[in-house]
């Protein structure tokens, strides 16, 4: 009987530790992003990208990088050449990088993707749980470094069989963008899928900017707001927004008007506004924008985006890179106010949260998220049970009375691995049943056995009797002393906690009232 009590206590402690770990949330998602960009400049690029759209696409990518990422850029033919040394992507780094990418020019040499991947990942020798690592590969996927065709085939096989495995070991995702009519898309897609990266296709070189924008959205998990009929609403919690606007022939210069109709165009020279103009697109950033409805005067385009920096932020907690088909995976979303979990029930109750799942064919499924009544501040939904193997896009949306937040992510569905179940000794079936413990019909997995070590005594093959636990007088005496000390400490903590909680509750009430007033709840 004492053995069973010990078993229950062990499992309860494990459960408590699990619940405690779930409460910890990392709000600074972008603090440890490491990115290596590889740009193909081999002889084939003279045909694939004769107008050098790679430069314009890279400038868009550089401008949208967070200021705290660690980024390096290489161009490669038969040898990789460093364009921009890996470093923190602050203002000075971005300024220099925008100049250095002008060096990109197609050569008359072959392309060695294997060597480029090796050089870019040279300093990633082991997994870093505090970093999110990415390689972005712009190429047609053709390996042409060998003198003979069999040399190219061998290099390609080494990439797929060895390099990909090594990159997976150190938790690197390779995002590939293929372009040109005869690109090896199967190869590029396999590299991306196997490393849980994003595969994208620019049907023409002119679409490279749009493809890199889609990659950027998946690298840097940032909030955006919807652009409808060229208008978007900025709420009072938004500190900054960045608009990416693609231009079309026949339309004039892109203009931007604030809620009062004031012109924020490129020639307005207004304080807190910066413009970056390329042949195919404009990027405009406005700091401390006025709350209200803003308007773009430009051609409507589905790829136009409005990214925001805000005090009221939506975040997806620990979004997995891969999930397994046939079983549900819980996706948890939360709202934060100045980096702290938002628990104001008045605000949470009016939020309509959904996820949109999109497969490779473009088929969409919209699922509602439920407000977690146990862990306040969270919304959740279970996905994966009915999804087929392959890559998916996930769009998370939170809509309140006066605000809306959108975030785009990606994940890969893999075939569910075979699970080995452990048979439970029949002697203990009745004991567990009497204790109110219901085990699954198929039995327990080996992983579950390891998670609760005391289960090891009830698996098949063990003895059917519970061994008595002998307790010495000395142990009982020590236990009494320990209990007294613990009781005293708990009394002190309870008194301090009571008054501390009252003070904390008062401060939070004032903050919640201020936020509710700001958002019009």
Question: For the residues 283-306, what does the mean pLDDT come to?
Answer: 95
Residues 6+ apart with CB under 8 A from 24: none
Instruction: Give the pairing of strands 199-202 and 172-179.
Output: parallel
416 phi, psi to nearest 5 deg: -65, 125
Averaged pLDDT of the chain:
82
Least confident of 71-85, 134-148, 497-511: 497-511
pTM of the model: 0.76
Best-predicted range by mean pLDDT (78-92, 141-155, 430-444):
78-92
Q: CATH class for domain 312-414?
A: mainly beta
Q: Say yes or no to pLDDT of 514 above 90.
A: no
pLDDT computed for residue 335 by the predictor: 92
Residues 6+ apart with CB under 8 A from 243: 256, 282, 283, 284, 285, 286, 296, 304, 305, 306, 307
Closest CA to 224 of 314, 97, 116: 314
Q: How far apart are CA 223 and CA 339, in angstroms?
A: 14
Following DSSP, what letter does each residue of 44-86 receive, concatenated? THHHH-TT-HHHHHHHHHHHTS-TT-EEEEEEESSSEEEEEEE
| Contacts of range 20-25, beta carbons closer than 8 Å, 24 or more positions apart | 22/375, 23/375, 25/315, 25/317, 25/334, 25/341
Q: For CATH 2.60.40.10, list the domain ranges present in the chain.
A: 312-414
pLDDT computed for residue 449 by the predictor: 55
Three-state DSSP at 153 gives helix
Q: How far apart are CA 334 and CA 316, in angstroms?
A: 6
Three-state DSSP at 175 gives strand
Q: How confident is the model at residue 351 (pLDDT cuts 50, 70, 90)?
A: very high
pLDDT computed for residue 442 by the predictor: 59
Q: How confident is the model at residue 435 (pLDDT cuts 50, 70, 90)?
A: low
pLDDT tens digits along 196-235: 999 999 888 778 999 999 999 988 888 999 999 999 999 9
pLDDT computed for residue 468 by the predictor: 46
pLDDT computed for residue 484 by the predictor: 63
pLDDT computed for residue 206 by the predictor: 79
Q: Say yes or no to pLDDT of 6 above 50.
A: no
Three-state DSSP at 466 gives coil
Question: For the residues 497-502, what does the mean pLDDT come to?
Answer: 61
Q: How confident is the model at residue 8 (pLDDT cuts 50, 70, 90)?
A: very low
Return the number of other C-beta atoms located less than 10 Å from residue 185's C-beta: 16
Burial 325-364 (b: 16+ CB within 10 A, else e): eeeebebbbbbbbeeebbbbeebbeebebbbebbeeeeee
Q: How confident is the model at residue 182 (pLDDT cuts 50, 70, 90)?
A: confident
Closest CA to 223 of 289, 310, 286: 310
Question: Measured between alpha carbons, how far is residue 371 from residues 324, 343, 348 in Å?
Answer: 24, 11, 8
pLDDT tens digits along 245-284: 999 887 888 999 999 999 888 877 788 999 999 989 999 9
SS (HEC) of 21-50 = HHHCCCCCCCCCEEEEEEEECCCCHHHHCC
Q: Say yes or no to pLDDT of 31 above 80.
A: no
Q: CATH class for domain 33-219?
A: alpha beta
pLDDT computed for residue 462 by the predictor: 44
Q: How confident is the model at residue 62 (pLDDT cuts 50, 70, 90)?
A: very high
Closest CA to 77 of 46, 106, 35: 106
Percent of the chain at pLDDT > 90 equals 55
For Cα atoms 430, 434, 435, give the angle at the middle one, nearest 5 degrees: 115
pLDDT computed for residue 269 by the predictor: 78
Q: Say yes or no to pLDDT of 467 above 60.
A: no
Q: How far apart are CA 172 and CA 191, in angstroms?
A: 11
Q: How far apart are CA 521 and CA 342, in angstroms?
A: 14
Looking at residue 128, the DSSP 8-state letter turns out to be: -
Q: How many helices (H) and strands (E) does the chain have?
A: 13, 25
Q: Say yes or no to pLDDT of 516 above 70.
A: no
Q: How confident is the model at residue 7 (pLDDT cuts 50, 70, 90)?
A: very low
Q: For CATH 3.40.50.410, list the domain ranges present in the chain.
A: 33-219
Return the number of other C-beta atoms located less than 10 Å from residue 263's C-beta: 13
Q: Say yes or no to pLDDT of 472 above 50.
A: no
Ramachandran sector of residue 101 (left: φ over 0; alpha: ψ -120 to 50; beta: rest):
alpha
pLDDT tens digits along 359-397: 988 999 999 999 988 877 899 999 988 899 999 999 999
Q: How far apart are CA 387 and CA 393, in angstroms?
A: 12
Q: How confident is the model at residue 302 (pLDDT cuts 50, 70, 90)?
A: very high
Better-scored residue on pLDDT, 175 or 424: 175
Q: How confident is the model at residue 37 (pLDDT cuts 50, 70, 90)?
A: very high
Q: How confident is the model at residue 426 (pLDDT cuts 50, 70, 90)?
A: low
Q: How confident is the model at residue 41 (pLDDT cuts 50, 70, 90)?
A: very high
pLDDT computed for residue 346 by the predictor: 86
Three-state DSSP at 316 gives strand
Q: Say yes or no to pLDDT of 190 above 90.
A: yes
Q: What is the CATH number of domain 231-310?
A: 2.60.40
Q: How confident is the model at residue 499 (pLDDT cuts 50, 70, 90)?
A: low
For Cα atoms 16, 18, 23, give the angle at the middle one, nearest 5 degrees: 95
């Amino acid at each position: 009987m004492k053995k069973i009590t010990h078993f229950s206590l062990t499992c309860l402690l494990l459960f408590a530790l699990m619940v405690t770990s779930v409460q910890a949330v990392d709000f600074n998602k972008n603090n440890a992003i490491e990115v290596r960009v590889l740009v193909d400049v081999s002889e084939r690029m003279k045909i694939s990208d004769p107008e050098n759209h790679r430069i314009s696409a890279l400038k868009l990518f550089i401008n949208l990088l967070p200021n705290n990422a660690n980024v390096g850029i290489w161009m490669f033919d038969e040898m990789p050449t460093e364009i921009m040394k890996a470093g923190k992507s602050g203002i000075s780094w971005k300024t220099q990088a925008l100049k250095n990418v002008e060096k990109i020019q197609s050569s008359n040499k072959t392309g060695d993707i294997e060597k480029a991947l090796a050089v870019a990942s040279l300093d990633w020798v082991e997994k870093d749980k505090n970093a999110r690592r990415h390689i972005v590969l712009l190429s047609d996927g053709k390996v042409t470094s060998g003198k003979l065709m069999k040399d190219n085939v061998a290099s390609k096989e080494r990439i797929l069989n060895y390099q990909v495995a090594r990159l997976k070991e150190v938790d690197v995702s390779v995002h590939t963008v293929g372009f040109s009519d005869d690109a090896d898309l199967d190869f590029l897609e396999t590299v991306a899928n196997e490393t849980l990266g994003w595969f994208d296709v620019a049907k023409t070189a002119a679409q490279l900017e749009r493809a890199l924008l889609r990659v950027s959205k998946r690298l840097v998990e940032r909030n955006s707001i919807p652009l409808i009929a060229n208008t978007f609403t900025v709420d009072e919690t938004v500190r900054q927004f960045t608009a990416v606007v693609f231009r079309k022939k026949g339309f004039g210069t892109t203009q931007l008007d604030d809620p009062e109709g004031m012109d924020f165009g490129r020639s307005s020279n207004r304080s807190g506004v910066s413009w970056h103009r390329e042949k195919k697109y404009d990027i405009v950033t406005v700091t401390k924008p006025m709350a209200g409805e803003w308007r773009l005067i430009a051609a409507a385009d589905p790829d136009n985006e409005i990214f925001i920096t805000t005090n009221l932020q939506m975040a997806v907690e620990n979004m997995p890179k891969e999930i397994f088909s046939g079983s549900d995976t819980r996706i948890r979303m939360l709202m934060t106010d100045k980096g702290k979990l938002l628990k104001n029930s008045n605000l949470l109750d009016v939020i309509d949260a959904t996820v949109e799942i999109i497969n490779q064919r473009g088929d969409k499924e919209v699922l509602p998220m439920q407000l977690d009544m146990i862990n306040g501040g969270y919304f959740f939904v279970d996905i994966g049970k009915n999804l087929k193997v392959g890559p998916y896009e996930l769009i998370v949306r939170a809509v309140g009375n006066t605000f809306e937040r959108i975030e785009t992510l990606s994940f890969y569905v893999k075939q569910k691995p075979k699970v080995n179940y452990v048979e439970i000794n029949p002697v203990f079936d009745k004991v567990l049943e009497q204790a109110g413990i219901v085990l699954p019909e198929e039995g327990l997995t080996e992983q579950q056995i390891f998670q609760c070590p005391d289960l090891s005594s009830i698996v098949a093959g063990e003895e059917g009797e519970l061994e008595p636990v002998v307790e010495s007088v000395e142990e009982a005496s020590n236990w009494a002393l320990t209990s007294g000390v613990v009781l005293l400490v708990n009394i002190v903590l309870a008194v301090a906690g009571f008054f501390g909680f009252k003070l904390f509750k008062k401060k939070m009430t004032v903050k919640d009232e201020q936020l509710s007033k700001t958002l019009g709840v």
